[in-house]
Amino acid sequence: MHLTAYDIIYRAIILIGALTGFLYWSRLSAAFRLLALFLLYTFISESAALYMAFTRNFNYSVFKVYLLVQIAFWGGVYFFLLTNKTAKKLTLALSAALWVISCIYIFSLPEKKMPIIMIDVESVLLIFFSISYFYFLIRNPVEDNILKLPGFWLSSSVLIYNCGSFIYIASFNFLANTGITKITLNNVHNALNIFHYGVLLYAMLLQVKRRQYAKCP
């Protein structure tokens, strides 16, 4: 195994997003402060996973812990992003329920087995959260041009990434058996990763720019 351009670019985008958040911390809303913390944790986890892959040839434990932390962070992000009180309560309840179920499932797995089912379930939950945000955004518009809203870009990234991730994981074995190489499938997923964190970085920069001039969501 060797370090690739993807490994460097992917982690660089995540780190830049995290550093941008911390550098302009006072300009961030609560949701984007959590996002900055999550990006920093993601960078540390991805770096640790890469190191373990080089030294131990597997990194399952890092991703298992990451899954649990990710559920908590995204639940918090959408708790602050959504303005409807019922939606906030539902977000916390669903996130807490998935976190508990994931804990039980993950710790029952062998060390060298990925929690594939829970990753897919989490993707479905995040798809639901992002669609909920768009629904309330349509019901209660806060900006004439939604392309200026950081939350729009954040949720667009979450929606597209998790739809792609769900399809990738659910159909990986089937597609691999149709003649599509695993390298090709992994390249598609790698591109999806860069897209996801690239758009999150854009959303972070947009949030910093907006809050520089006015207090806005």
Contacts of 19 (CB under 8 A, 6+ apart): none
Whole-number pLDDT of residue 21: 97
Tokens 């900055």, residue?
36
- The pLDDT value recorded for residue 181 is 62
Whole-number pLDDT of residue 52: 80
Can you give the three-state secondary structure of the chain, one letter per residue? CCCCHHHHHHHHHHHHHHHHHHHCHHHCCHHHHHHHHHHHHHHHHHHHHHHHHHHCCCCHHHHHHHHHHHHHHHHHHHHHHCCCHHHHHHHHHHHHHHHHHHHHHHHCCCCCCCCHHHHHHHHHHHHHHHHHHHHHHHHCCCCCCHHHCHHHHHHHHHHHHHHHHHHHHHHHHHHHCCCCCHHHHHHHHHHHHHHHHHHHHHHHHHHHHHHHHCCCC
The model carries a pTM of: 0.90
**Residue 99 pLDDT:** 96
Per-residue model confidence as pLDDT tens for the chain (217 residues)? 578 899 999 999 999 999 999 999 999 999 999 999 999 999 999 998 888 877 776 667 888 889 999 999 999 999 999 989 999 999 999 999 999 999 999 888 887 788 888 999 999 999 999 999 999 998 888 777 889 999 999 999 999 999 999 988 887 666 656 666 667 777 888 999 999 999 999 999 999 988 654 444 4
Q: What is the pLDDT of residue 189?
A: 86
* The pLDDT value given to residue 78: 97
pLDDT of residue 215: 46
> What per-residue confidence (pLDDT) applies to 1?
59
Instruction: Note the pLDDT of residue 142.
Output: 78
pLDDT score recorded for residue 170 = 80
pLDDT at residue 100 in the model = 96
- The vertex-54 CA angle with 186 and 192, nearest 5°, equals 25
Instruction: Encode pLDDT of 17-26 as tens digits.
Output: 999 999 999 9
